[in-house]
Amino acid sequence: GENVEQHPSTLSVQEGDSAVIKCTYSDSASNYFPWYKQELGKRPQLIIDIRSNVGEKKDQRIAVTLNKTAKHFSLHITETQPEDSAVYFCAASWAAGTASKLTFGTGTRLQVTL
């Protein structure tokens, strides 16, 4: 299987500042790394993902970086806004049998204060 560690568990930033969440994984065969955002009482929703052949990917204010050698990847949110407040989960893929499965980190609660 796969083991994913995520830090920090909570993060508080002021509106307009940047936020960085870091994850490490154990299985060198992992090749897909999604990030999910979960608002209170809602389902996790994919916000960005990266595959092992790419080092960085951006989508407006969010970006993800991947270092396969060190087996870690990070989520960067710039110019944070109150609506960015949520729990963020990283995940890493692993394969057994016919399906690619995801192992999730334990989540980071991001609070953006005014």
Partner 1 sequence: DAGITQSPRYKITETGRQVTLMCHQTWSHSYMFWYRQDLGHGLRLIYYSAAADITDKGEVPDGYVVSRSKTENFPLTLESATRSQTSVYFCASTEGSGAKWDTQYFGPGTRLTVL
SS3 per-residue string spanning 6-50: EECCEEEEECCCCEEEEEEECCCCCCEEEEEEECCCCCCEEEEEE
Q: What is the rounded CA–CA span in Å between residue 96 and residue 73?
A: 22
What are residue 4's DSSP bridge partners? 25
Cβ-based nearer residue to partner 1, 57 or 78: 57
Q: By CB under 8 A, is residue 105 in contact with partner 1? A: yes
**Can you tell me which of 12, 15, 46, 113 binds partner 1, judged by CB under 8 A?**
46
Q: By CB under 8 A, is residue 111 in contact with partner 1? A: no
**Can you tell me which of 60, 70, 97, 114 binds partner 1, judged by CB under 8 A?**
97
Cβ-based nearer residue to partner 1, 77 or 90: 90
